[in-house]
Structure 1
């Protein structure tokens, strides 16, 4: 499966639901690894998925300077063309010496690597961390916690509501 095939991929891949508890544990595990790499002057969250893990990581590392880079790449069910909606602020760019030195970029997931490439180009010396990584995007990330297969669709807790799940014996996968 190529990156262009994946950009058309819908949610028919392997489901990987993540609860709030599990996501929080994974973010804390990510922080534990990042604590050995820092210190960091600032955190940049890639929105929207990176907002929650960036908040947890920033809290755990005691970082109060937080910014966002806003890139739209996903609709609720598929990848689309990338759109830079908000760049990294000039203050953070200056703080990172124009290259991202001492800056931590956080996202929930690196998938094909398209978003990661855009942000890496903006801040090539920044440390890039994600909670989850897929094989195509993994080389662009410095630190991550869990690798999943490329055909896995991660259902994040903010995307889910509680509902009845029929037993597997009734044909539910």
Structure 2
């Protein structure tokens, strides 16, 4: 992914993200039953919390995969934490995987390899990664940079760890 293009910026407010995540839950409500949610961290944490509330799933697991190391360029994928063995046992049967966005599809591919029978859902999808997800709410162009509410104040807010 290249440096964000300010002409193709898609800022998402907390209110809009909540509405979109609830819309995702609405689409997923008839897809189950799901016995667990696996959220892809960090971006999948917020939509997974909303989806699990809306459709009533209590078992929540994470898979931690780092791909954006500088908020602009997608680098080498690193699996920091894998999925609990009992959820891997049936190749993902009955598992719902949630993330905020599928971009290039690299992260989704890693998770799909771990859980080939899981249902992967994202709030937003870009064309390159779209074939790897089963359910999504909004598609944006590949060259659009989505600014999520947790990344913004009145202007972009770098993480505290970056010295801001």
| Same-fold status (TM-score > 0.5) | yes
Moved over 3 A (4+): none
- SS of 2:23's partner is helix
Across the aligned residues of Structure 1 and Structure 2, the Cα RMSD in angstroms comes to 1.0
- Distance in 1 (CA, whole Å) between partners of 2:73 and 2:152 is 16
Matching residue within 53, 78, 83 for 1:83: 78
- Distance in 1 (CA, whole Å) between partners of 2:135 and 2:96 is 10
1:103 aligns with 2:98: no
| Rg larger for | 1
Structure 1: state its 5+ residue gaps: 1-5, 164-173
Task: Report how many aligned residue pairs link the two structures.
Answer: 153
The normalised TM-score by structure 2 is 0.91
Match of 2:5 in 1: 12
Matching residue within 135, 144, 162 for 1:143: 135
Matching residue within 29, 34, 37 for 1:40: 34
- SS of 1:145's partner is strand
- Mapping of residues 44-123 of structure 1, within 5 Å: 44-75=38-69, 76-94=71-89, 97=90, 99-123=91-115
Structure 2: state its 5+ residue gaps: 156-164
- Distance in 2 (CA, whole Å) between partners of 1:62 and 1:116 is 24
The normalised TM-score by structure 1 is 0.86
How many Å apart are 1:91 and its aligned residue?
Answer: 2.5
- Distance in 1 (CA, whole Å) between partners of 2:98 and 2:55 is 13
